[in-house]
Amino acid sequence: MNNNALTAMTGGITRIHNTPITEIEGSPAPQKRPPLAAPTASVTVSLSEDVLGENSKAQQITEKFENTVHELYSPPATSTVNEKNNQAQNENQTLLELAPLSLPTKADVIAFEQLFSDELAKAGVDASIPIKLNITGEGEVKVSNDHPDKEKIEALFKENSDLQQGFVKTETYGTLQKLYQLHQQWQQKIEGGASEEAANNWLINTTKSTLASSQMSFQNGKVSQSFSGGNPYS
């Protein structure tokens, strides 16, 4: 992963550490997240020579993190034939040869905050009242708290595809920050003596619970996202 890409996703934190990331994915595989629309200004997942030292910690985390991201966010195959072809192709590819995956940036979060604030103002919704949002498996954005304008807010997302995609990008950005932190913990477990199988099972299960517990809130023009393990950004 080039320095610019990794910095964009991790908020400048590219070294392994024990502190939470504030700026930046046996057991069944975690469920894929809703796919993103065609990307605009985004970064790509790729590796560069500065993290490719054999057996380096950065390489191990980066490769594991990228694999998780591709599993969660790559579009599904459109047919059984395509699925088989993709599987055969992936078996003969290294991570370096995979097509780049476009990911949201902090700029996408800021753009969503501005757009949502504007739409709430037009609809006469008081933005000082907390709005808790989540997304269904069908891609619908729902208000999860008892808000007086719940139906009006949900209608905004149904009628405005840019607003809906802005939410998806913002939710994805925050989730990636949390997932990167989990991958650091995965590496620390292996360094602490855990087997790779045990560490992998922990990562899969923790990723699933993290995605299931994601909750985004919006108040006074700002978003914050929480998980069962804490806030990756606000």
Q: Are 90 and 124 in contact (CB under 8 A)?
A: no
Whether 147 maps to a domain, the answer reads no
Q: What is the dihedral of CA 122, 125, 131, 137, to 10 degrees?
A: -50
The answer as to whether 46 is a domain residue is: yes
Q: What is the mean pLDDT of residues 211-223?
A: 91
Domain assignment of residue 135, yes or no: no
| Predicted local distance difference test score (pLDDT) of residue 86 | 55
Is the CB of residue 205 less than 8 Å from the CB of residue 197?
A: no
pLDDT band at 223 (very low <50, low <70, confident <90, very high): very high
**Does the residue 221 lie in any domain?**
yes
> What 3-state class would DSSP assign to 133?
strand
List the Cα angle 184/185/187 in 5-degree steps.
65
Asked if 220 contacts 113 with a C-beta cutoff of 8 angstroms, the reply is no
> Is residue 146 in a domain?
no
Q: What is the mean pLDDT of residues 214-233?
A: 80
Kindly list the distances between the CA atom of residue 144 and the CA atoms of 83, 115, 226, in Å, as whole numbers in the listed order: 35, 20, 14
Q: How buried is 173 (Cβ within 10 angstroms: 0-12 exposed, 13-18 middle, 19+ buried)?
A: buried
Q: How far apart are CA 171 and CA 134, in angstroms?
A: 9
Residue 208 pLDDT level (bands cut at 50, 70, 90): confident
Q: Return d(Cα 104, Cα 195) in angstroms, integer.
A: 33
In-domain check, residue 123: no
Query: Is 214 inside a domain boundary?
Result: yes
For 42-55, the pLDDT digits (tens) are 444 443 444 444 45
| Mean pLDDT comparison of 5-14, 82-91, 116-125, 171-180, highest-scoring range | 116-125
Q: Encode pLDDT of 153-163 as tens digits.
A: 999 999 999 99
Amino acid at 164: Q
Q: Is residue 139 part of a domain?
A: no
Distance CA 93, CA 99 (A): 10
Strands 141-143, 215-219: pairing kind: unpaired
Question: Where residue 79 falls among pLDDT bands split at 50, 70, 90?
Answer: very low
Distance, in Å, from the CA atom of 123 to the CA atom of 151, rounded to the nearest integer, reads 11
* Structural domain containing residue 53: 3-106+166-233
Average pLDDT (181-204) is 92
Domain count, the chain: 1
